[in-house]
Every structure is written in structure tokens, then in C-alpha cells.
Amino acid sequence: MAVNKVFELLFRLLVAGSVLLHAVISADIKDLNNSKMAPVVERVVDSVHLGEGPHWDVSTQSLYFVDIFGKAIHKYVPSTKKHTKAVIGSGHVSLIVPVEGQKDKFLISIGRKLAVVTWDGESDKVSKTEEITEVDNKPDTLDNRFNDGKCDPSGRLWAGTMGGEPENGAVKREKGALFSLVKGQAKQHLSKIGISNGLAWTTDNKTMYYIDSHKGYLEQFDFDIVNGTISNSRNVFTLSKHGVDGVLDGMCIDTDGNLWVAIFNGYRVIKIDPRKPETLLQTVEIPAKQVNKTTSVAFGGPNLDELYVTSASFTVNGVELPPPDHGATFRVTGLGVKGFPDPAFGFSVVNGKPKKMTDKMIIRPISESLEVGTRPCWDAEKKCLYFVDVPTSYAYKYDNETGETVKTKVAQATTKYIPKIIRSPINLLGVGTLLQQIPITICPLDGEQLEVGTRPFWDEDRQILYFVDVKTSTIYKYCYNGNRVAKATVGDEPLAFMFPVEGDDKKFIAGLGRKLVFVTWDGKCPVVQKVELITEVEWEEDYLANRWNGGKVDPYGRLWAGTMGPADENGDTIPGRGSLYSYSKGLLLKHETNIGISNGLAWDVKENKMYYIDTLFPGVYQYDYDPKTGTICNRTCVFDFENNFVEGKPDGLVIDMDGNLIVACIFGGHLIHFDPRTGKVLARIPIPAEQVTAVTFGGFELDKLFVTTAKMEVNGEVPEDPAGVTFVIEGLGISGLGDFKYKP
């Protein structure tokens, strides 16, 4: 019998293929797929006269760009390879930026004017043109035109002009200027510009990079994003010092903070580190000296890891540059870097610059002086604010409509005053603007406060919520419609997760210590009926103190689960001890090692993507996912907590019907709803407990959000109530896919 099992396992491995075999033997899939390769340059759009202003629109996964001399705006869709254009005809068009929140609206330049056009992306003409402003109206600058422009992270347009060009390549010097758009008018920041070109901003919004092509060097400015001002110019890179022929033109910035600059008359794009003046990191030829006039660059693609490069084909001094490469748009892959989404144009910035926090702010007291006032809680339905004074045991209620504040004595000293049902608005965040607020209801479920409540699982067939308390090795069953709770002890080791098995209402698969087990429980008795060992992981001496932590079943019935190391003498989890596994039909595969705390998992079945969280890395990873073999590759970070100023650490994860992710932020007291394709934060959902651990969709329509929390002692302090409570959130206006049972 033992021999038969060996042959059966070998047969499965052979069928799965060499990729799976490699995963079992070496667990080095990620190293193979993360290996660097030489950049690949390919032409994606044929020749135009003067291609410029590439802008990647994340929402449509399309590249927009312009043909300045052709007086046209262009759209290219990589997924279909469809290329369309609309001729403006009335003047040179040098930039195109989508208008945020307004379909088919684009901000463009026409000569010395800025305008908003309406274009469906298909027609050969725009359906409407609305002029906003005009610049350089002096007699000696009437032959000027806009040349390049881009929006800063707040959605404010920055665009510059250049002098007249009586002959191709012979641009009048120091006739241009750099502007931003404020209250529908152009505000001038720099004068005596030769050819205004590339713009880029750092992630902290404190630095702006700028190129005047006539100067021959790249400038850095201190940047004030609130007031929209620049100051303190410094030279950070001079092209001639590096023996590179050509002229600095358009540019963009990658997530590492390095700049990618197109070199006009130089047939290349260069990568520089602006934080170290005069540091040239890389050169990419476009392509192999055949294209002389590269003009601008922009990151694009589903992962923002493709560099799109525009070029020119116009004649200078009688030298003709023939198609198809000259004037073409190229895509460069294999660079090993990613960019940021190009900001759309915010109309709120046209009508008025982003306001300072102090603009029109009114601060006034609404209560008497309290000794320790704390725990404010807003009831959106009643428009009342609740808060407490801890030493005096008084709870306060402020009525926003009447302006009255009343107080009542609580029986004993308290640190909270939280209504059973909390109704509060959540903020939906746009680029630099607050779009709207949605009222939601957060209701604690009847039940115990758990030390480490986590791994919620919604059984859609039975309308039941399961979740666990890790430390007490307890499984909980909550009947949402009947408001009933049952629980059972599983073992004497930490219970990391416990999910139903398809086809058997009493059978579950669970992580118990380092063991993977099948559990039999009738959903009633306080002790489970049976625990059967499947396998045990991490037998190496240094890993015997490890345990299972995060887990979830993928849409194809495979269990994915990971481990974590023990705590050190300071109570901190030892990093790098954990691993990520999958288990299906008797086959255990190790996919990742060197994990800190394995946690949230989610899958996008349309895009064949898997999302994963290692809590000690403050962010969310994305993998390409093969549903047939159950393997992952090409790990990238799609959301970074630090770059997005998110408090806490990432824990549990769930995906909604639109492909957006919701991550639980332990020690942050909230959920973050974001788009993994763009990295854009869609909403921050506050939870009245700091240690938020996990989240899942449930209810008949899968439009309710169940959230588990913990009540762990940290540095000798136990968090205040309602820590450890499980909550349900209603009214978010989104729904999920539901949880999947393990398929034996």
C-alpha cells in the first residue's frame, strides 16, 4: 500500500509538470520569475509628425498622446491594439489629460490656449471644445505655443510654452514660460523659458523636477502642493557632462524615485537618480539608433511596468526621417521598475486651488472643560456626537442641529460610550479632493470579545458566519438571521483558521499549531467530535516553534495557508521564519519562504491574479496566478502602506465584485478600500476597535461586511472595549464574491 501511494504521488507530480515539481523540491518559483531580463522595445503605433504628451489612463487601460504638428489627439488600447485619433485642426496640440470624473472629457492645449474637449475616443473629430484660458498675449510672444504639460498629484495642471519656430528646429530662445492653472486662469511661475518640457513630482509632494530643453540640464524645485508654488531651483543633471548627444525632453518618475528622460536627437531614454546629482543609471536605445527624435515617456500597462515612448518624424535642415519607426510610439518592457498612475485633471482646481486646512475653518468649544475627554463617536442618523470624560464617569451627547450638549452619569468609570449600532459616514477619497460621504452602519454582533478573533468565513448556502479565536483554539458559528452563537474547542494549540469542506456540513479543514487537520463538528457541541491529521509542516529545528496563521480557500477549492515564526524576547515576531503553502487533494506545495507573518489572501478570477499579505511588509503583493496548476509568479507590490500614509499593519484581505480590495489594518482601527490596478485609495472605513484582523463579505446579497477584531495585550496594555468584538457593516454600496469551501 505504501508503494502504491508513492507511485500515486509521483504520477501527480508528473502530470502537474515541471513547474510544480520545482515548487515542491526547491520552493524557488519566485526567484525564477523575478530574474531580470534585458529590456524589449517594440513599436505599437506607427509614425506621426511629432508625437508627444503620453498619458496612461488607468480606468480605460489606454494610452493617450498627441501629434503636435498633426494637430491631433490619439488613443491606443493595448488589449485590442486599436489606434484612433481626432484632428483638432485649429492649432498645435501639445498635451492631453483626461478630466477626473467626467467621461469623454479631456484637457488639451491648442496653440497658446487651454481647452476642454469632448471626445468619445472613436470619432475622427471632437464633439465639443470649451476654451479655458490663453497665455503669452504680448506682441513678441504671439507666435508662442504650449509644448508640454502634466498634472501634479492634486490634479492641478502645470504646462509651459516655447517660442516661435519659423523653421523646424529653430526655436526662438527665452520666449516661453511655465504656468499652472488656478481659478480658470494661468498663473505664471517661470519666465525666459526656451522649450518647456518634462515635469515630475516626488511621492512626498515636496519636490518638482522640470526641464527647459534649451538649458541642457534638469532642474529641481521645492514644491508646495497646497499653494501650488515652486522655489529654490537647483541643477541635478547636465546631459553634456555624461557624453550623451541630444537634448533633454519629456520625463516621468518611477516608484523608486528615479527619473526616465527622453533624449531628443539622441535615440534613447535615460534613467537618472535625481537624489544624487549627475548620476546616470541606465540607457535604453529606441530602437538601436534607428529613431533619432525620442520626445516623451510615460509608464503604463496593467501593472504600470511598461514604458511608452513617443517620437518625431518631422524634417529638419532637409533631413527626412522615414516611417515606420521615426515618429512611432514604442513600448519598453522588462525594465524591472514600475511607475505611478498619471493624475487626471481635477476640475475643482480650475475653479479654485486646493484649500488649506485653515481656510474658512471655524473652531469653537461644544462642551465644558473635561479632565480626560476621549472616544468621540458620531451618530450620522441622529446627527449627534457622543464622547466621555474618563475620571468623572460622564458621557456626553452633542446635538449638531440644536447646538446643545447634555451629559449623564455612568454607573462606573468608563473609557467609552459607544451605541450598540454606530452610524457614521466614511470618506471616499479622490485625487486631492473629498468626493462624497456615504453613511454606513457598524453593528457589533452578539457574542464574546475574543483575544484574537479572525478568519471569518461566510457559508452562503446556510447563511452562517464562522470565525476563530486563535489563542483559545475555539471555532465560532454565528447564525446571522437568528442572532445565535455556538462555539467549540478544537484543541490545545493555536487555531489559525477553520473552513468548511464542500459536500459535508460537519467537516472542516483547519490549521492547528503546525498541523493541517480535518475537523468534524456538528455545530452544537462545545467540543468538536473528531480531529484527523493531514500533515505537519516545518519540522526543521529552527522552525519547530512556528505555527499556521493566515489561510483561505481559492475559487478552485485549493487551500492556501501560511506560517509565522515565534516571538522574540521583546514580544516581536521573528521575521523570515514563515512560508506560504497550498494544499489540494493530498498534495502540499511550498510557494514562498522568508515570510514574516503570513496573512490575507484574495483572488481575481477575471485577471488571474492572486493578492497576498505578509504583515511584516506593510503592503499588498500581487502575483500572476495559474488556475490550472495552482502556481504563482511575478510578485509585485500593488499597495504600500507607507507611501499611502496608512496607519497600522495589513492583516486580512477580501476582494469585491469590481476587483477592488479591502484590507484590515491591525493596530490602525480601520479598513482600507483600494484599487490594486492603480493603487488609488477609494475609502477609509473606521472600525471602533484598534486591532482589526480580518474581513469578509456576507448576507443574502453578499453586500454586508463582517469584520473581526482582537483584544491582544501589547506592551503590558490590554485594548479598551469593544476590542475583540466581531462587527457587521451595512450600507457600503458594494458586494463581494463570497467565500469558497475546500474541495476534497
**Is the separation of the CB atoms in 536 and 516 below 8 Å?**
yes
Q: What is the CA radius of gyration of the chain?
A: 29
**What 3-state class would DSSP assign to 326?**
coil
Exposed (0-12), middle (13-18) or buried (19+): which is 335, by Cβ within 10 Å? buried
**What is the spatial distance between Cα 351 and Cα 349, in angstroms, rounded to a whole number?**
5
**What 3-state class would DSSP assign to 414?**
coil
703 classed as catalytic: no
**Of residues 381, 380, 376, 422, the one with CA closest to residue 395:** 376
**Residue 136, C-alpha cell as written in the block:** 503669452
**What is the spatial distance between Cα 636 and Cα 603, in angstroms, rounded to a whole number?**
15
137 is in an annotated binding site: no
What's the DSSP call for residue 273?
Answer: -
Q: How many CB atoms lie within 10 A of CB 42?
A: 10
**Residue 547, C-alpha cell as written in the block:** 505555527
249 is in an annotated binding site: yes
**Type of residue numbered 283:** T
The contacts of residue 689 (CB under 8 Å, 6+ apart) are 669, 709, 719, 722, 723, 724, 725, 727
**Is the separation of the CB atoms in 346 and 151 below 8 Å?**
yes
Per annotation, catalytic residue among 136, 148, 152, 249: 249
Residue listed under C-alpha cell 498633426 = 70
Helix (H) or strand (E) holding 15: helix 2-16
- Edge-to-edge strand ranges of the sheet holding 229-238: 196-201, 207-212, 217-224, 229-238
**What is the spatial distance between Cα 453 and Cα 268, in angstroms, rounded to a whole number?**
55
**What is the spatial distance between Cα 388 and Cα 414, in angstroms, rounded to a whole number?**
8
Residue listed under C-alpha cell 498612475 = 341
What's the DSSP call for residue 719?
Answer: P
The shares of helix, strand and coil residues in the chain, as percent rounded to the nearest 5, are 5, 50, 45
**Is the separation of the CB atoms in 281 and 272 below 8 Å?**
yes
**Of residues 409, 251, 433, 405, the one with CA closest to residue 342:** 251
**Is the separation of the CB atoms in 136 and 178 below 8 Å?**
no
Helix (H) or strand (E) holding 87: strand 82-87
Q: Where are the alpha helices (DSSP H) in 392-478?
A: none
**Is the separation of the CB atoms in 519 and 505 below 8 Å?**
no
**Residue 234, C-alpha cell as written in the block:** 537647483
**Residue 551, C-alpha cell as written in the block:** 489561510
**Of residues 639, 200, 724, the one with CA closest to residue 450:** 724
The contacts of residue 707 (CB under 8 Å, 6+ apart) are 456, 664, 671, 687, 692, 694, 695, 726, 727, 728, 729
197 is in an annotated binding site: yes
165 is in an annotated binding site: yes
> Which residues are identified as catalytic?
249
Residues in the annotated binding site for substrate:
145, 147, 165
Residues in the annotated binding site:
52, 145, 147, 165, 197, 249
